[in-house]
C-alpha cells in the first residue's frame, strides 16, 4: 500500500474509518486508479490507461487536485472526485473553470454520501483556486443534486456516409491540399482556432500545451488526434483535426477552420478517402459546431444530425462571474437602443439576490441586493445559468418556469439585450 499524506481538509475524517484526503503525489494516484478501474465495471480495466492520462498527464493536472476517501481499515480507496483546472472563454473573455474529473465510488461504499462529501470539498477548492464556474461531462441526473444543470452543448454533430461526398470534377486539380501539421504551425493553428470560435458565446481556450498533448497521446489511444493544415498555393488557410484511430463514428473530425465551401468539400474528400480505406464503417463523423460551414456543407450532402448531450454547469461565484463577463454585457448594451445605460438591474435567484450597477453603459459593480428590492428578473438559481450562458433565451426560461418572471416590459427588454440566446461550442478534452 502506498503511503498517504493527510493534507489539511476542513472536513477531517468522514467517519472513524473513512477519511477524506487530497493526493500528495503521483504515486498515491495508483490507488485512486485502482478504485476507478473497479468502480466502472467491465469497462474499468479498458478505461484505466485513459483515466491515468486524465489524472496524471493532462496539461495542468496536479495530484493535490484529486480528492479521495480511504478506508483506513481495509486500506482501499473507496471513492474519488478530482478537479481539472481549465480556461473557457465568454465572447473572448477568459473564464476560470473547474471541471469535475473522474468520479466513482466502489460498489461496497455507495449511497453513503461519499461523493456528496467530496463535492463540498471540491467546490471549496475550486473557489479558492479562482474558478467561477464548475462543469462536468457526467452521467445523467446524478449531479443535479449538487447544483448542476444541463446548460451547454456537448457532443452532437453530424454523421455522413463517406460515399455521399462527391468526387472532384474530372480534370480539375484540387485548389486546396492538406498536410500534417508540425509544432512550427502552432501560432497559425491557434489563430485559426480563435477565428473558428469567434462567433460562439462560450468556447474552450486552446493552448499549445493542450494541442500538443492531444496530438501526442499514445499512438493506439482512442483519444489521439491528428492535425492537418489546409493550404492553398503553399500558404496555410485553415486546419482540420481528426481522431487518429478507429471510432464507432468512422473517420471523426473533431474541429476545423474551413471558412469556404470549396475548402469544406476538399476536407470532406480527404475524410472520404480515409473513411473508405481505413475505417471499418465507411462514414464521416463531424464533431464540429453546427453553425460552421463544414457542418452546413455536410448536412446539405445528406448528413444526419446526432443528438447532442450537454455539459452540466454550476456557477460557483455568480457575483464574480457577472463581473467578469461585464465587457461582453457592455458591448451588447452599446449595440442596442440601451447604449449609455445608467440604471441598476437586479436579479432574484430566490436563494440569493444580485444587483448589477450600470453607469453610462459600463458595469460598475455587481453586488448582493436587499431582500425587499423589486427585482427586474426572478429566476430559480438552477435555471439562471442557461440564460447567462446564452443556452436558452429569457423567453424560453420564462415559458418553462412558472417561478421565473420579469418585473415589467423595460426589465424584460434589458434582459433580452444583456443575455441573448447564442451558440456555444466547447471541445471536450478527456
Ligand X SMILES: CC(C)(COP(=O)(O)OP(=O)(O)OC[C@H]1O[C@@H](n2cnc3c(N)ncnc32)[C@H](O)[C@@H]1OP(=O)(O)O)[C@@H](O)C(=O)NCCC(=O)NCCS
For the CB of residue 81, give the shortest distance to ligand X in the complex, in Å: 8
For residue 320, what is the enclosing H or E element?
helix 318-324
For the CB of residue 37, give the shortest distance to ligand X in the complex, in Å: 11
Q: Per rule CB under 6 A, is residue 421 in the interface with ligand X?
A: no
Q: Which is nearer to ligand X, 42 or 234 (CB)?
A: 42
For the CB of residue 106, give the shortest distance to ligand X in the complex, in Å: 7
**Binder to ligand X among 54, 80, 89, 105 (CB under 6 A)?**
105
Which residues have C-beta within 8 Å of that of residue 111, sequence separation ≥ 6? none
Q: Per rule CB under 6 A, is residue 104 in the interface with ligand X?
A: yes
Q: Rg for the chain (alpha carbons), in Å?
A: 24
Task: Please report, as residue ranges, which positions from 138 to 167 form the binding site for ligand X (by CB under 6 A).
Answer: 138-139, 141-142, 145
Q: Which is nearer to ligand X, 143 or 358 (CB)?
A: 143
Which residues have C-beta within 8 Å of that of residue 128, sequence separation ≥ 6? none
Q: Per rule CB under 6 A, is residue 363 in the interface with ligand X?
A: no
3-class DSSP state of 9: coil
CA distance 154 to 279: 24
Q: Which is nearer to ligand X, 22 or 106 (CB)?
A: 106
Per-residue DSSP letter, 54 = I
Q: Per rule CB under 6 A, is residue 15 in the interface with ligand X?
A: no
In the shown chain, the binding pattern of residues 40 to 79 toward ligand X, with x for contact by CB under 6 A and - for none, equals x--------------------------------------x
Q: Which is nearer to ligand X, 43 or 371 (CB)?
A: 43
Q: Per rule CB under 6 A, is residue 401 in the interface with ligand X?
A: no
Distances (CA, A) of 34 to 21, 76, 106, 207: 16, 9, 10, 31
Are 44 and 37 in contact, with CB atoms under 8 Å apart?
Answer: yes
Q: Per rule CB under 6 A, is residue 1 in the interface with ligand X?
A: no
Q: Per rule CB under 6 A, is residue 179 in the interface with ligand X?
A: no
Kindly state the cell numbers that stand for 91. Answer: 465572447
3-class DSSP state of 276: helix
Q: Which is nearer to ligand X, 116 or 359 (CB)?
A: 116
**Binder to ligand X among 110, 175, 232, 422 (CB under 6 A)?**
110
Kindly state the cell numbers that stand for 210. Answer: 493542450
Per-residue DSSP letter, 77 = E
Residues in the chain: 430
CA distance 317 to 95: 12
CA distance 113 to 229: 49
Q: Per rule CB under 6 A, is residue 349 in the interface with ligand X?
A: no
Size of the site for ligand X (CB under 6 A): 18
**Binder to ligand X among 20, 114, 165, 404 (CB under 6 A)?**
114
Q: Which is nearer to ligand X, 117 or 283 (CB)?
A: 117
For the CB of residue 163, give the shortest distance to ligand X in the complex, in Å: 37
3-class DSSP state of 204: strand
Which residues have C-beta within 8 Å of that of residue 44, sequence separation ≥ 6? 36, 37, 38
Q: Which is nearer to ligand X, 39 or 366 (CB)?
A: 39
Q: Per rule CB under 6 A, is residue 103 in the interface with ligand X?
A: yes
CA distance 368 to 370: 7
* Footprint on this chain of ligand X (rule: CB under 6 A): 39-40, 79, 103-105, 110-116, 138-139, 141-142, 145
Amino acid at each position: 500500500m502506498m503511503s498517504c499524506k493527510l493534507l489539511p481538509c476542513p472536513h477531517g475524517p468522514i467517519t472513524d474509518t473513512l477519511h477524506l484526503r487530497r493526493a500528495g503525489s503521483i504515486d498515491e494516484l495508483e490507488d485512486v486508479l485502482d478504485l476507478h478501474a473497479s468502480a466502472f465495471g467491465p469497462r474499468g480495466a479498458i478505461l484505466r490507461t485513459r483515466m491515468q492520462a486524465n489524472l496524471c498527464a493532462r496539461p495542468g493536472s496536479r495530484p493535490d487536485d484529486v480528492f479521495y476517501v480511504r478506508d483506513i481499515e481495509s486500506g482501499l480507496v473507496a471513492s474519488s472526485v478530482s478537479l481539472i483546472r481549465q480556461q473557457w472563454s465568454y465572447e473572448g473573455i477568459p473564464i476560470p473553470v473547474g471541471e469535475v474529473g473522474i468520479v466513482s465510488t466502489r460498489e461496497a461504499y455507495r449511497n453513503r454520501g461519499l461523493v456528496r462529501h467530496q463535492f463540498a470539498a471540491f467546490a471549496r477548492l475550486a473557489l479558492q483556486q479562482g474558478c467561477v464556474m464548475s462543469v462536468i461531462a457526467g452521467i445523467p441526473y446524478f449531479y443535479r443534486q449538487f447544483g448542476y444543470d444541463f446548460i451547454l452543448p456537448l457532443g452532437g454533430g453530424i454523421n455522413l456516409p463517406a460515399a455521399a461526398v462527391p468526387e472532384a470534377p474530372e480534370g480539375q486539380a484540387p485548389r486546396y491540399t492538406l498536410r500534417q501539421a508540425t509544432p512550427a504551425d502552432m501560432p497559425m493553428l491557434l489563430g485559426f482556432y480563435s477565428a473558428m470560435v469567434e462567433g460562439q458565446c462560450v468556447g474552450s481556450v486552446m493552448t499549445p500545451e493542450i494541442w500538443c498533448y492531444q496530438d501526442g497521446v499514445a499512438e493506439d489511444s482512442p483519444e489521439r488526434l491528428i492535425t492537418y493544415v489546409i493550404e492553398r498555393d503553399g500558404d496555410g488557410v485553415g486546419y482540420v483535426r481528426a481522431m487518429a484511430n478507429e471510432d464507432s463514428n468512422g473517420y471523426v473530425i473533431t474541429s476545423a477552420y474551413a471558412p469556404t465551401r470549396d475548402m469544406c468539400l476538399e476536407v470532406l474528400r480527404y475524410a472520404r478517402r480515409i473513411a473508405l480505406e481505413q475505417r471499418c464503417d465507411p462514414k464521416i463523423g463531424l464533431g464540429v459546431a453546427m453553425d460552421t460551414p463544414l457542418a452546413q456543407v455536410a448536412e446539405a450532402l445528406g448528413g444526419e444530425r446526432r443528438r447532442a448531450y450537454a455539459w452540466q454547469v454550476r456557477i460557483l461565484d455568480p457575483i464574480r462571474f457577472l463581473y467578469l463577463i461585464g465587457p461582453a454585457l457592455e458591448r451588447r448594451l452599446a449595440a442596442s437602443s440601451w447604449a449609455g445605460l445608467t440604471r441598476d438591474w437586479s436579479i432574484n435567484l430566490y436563494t440569493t439576490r444580485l444587483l448589477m450597477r450600470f453607469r453610462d453603459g459600463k458595469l460598475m459593480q455587481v453586488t448582493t441586493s436587499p431582500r425587499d428590492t423589486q427585482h427586474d428578473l426572478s429566476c430559480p438559481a438552477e435555471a439562471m445559468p442557461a440564460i447567462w450562458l446564452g443556452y436558452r433565451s429569457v423567453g424560453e426560461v420564462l415559458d418553462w418556469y412558472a417561478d421565473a418572471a420579469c418585473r415589467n416590459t423595460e426589465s424584460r427588454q434589458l434582459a433580452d439585450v444583456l443575455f441573448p440566446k447564442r451558440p456555444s461550442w466547447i471541445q471536450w478534452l478527456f
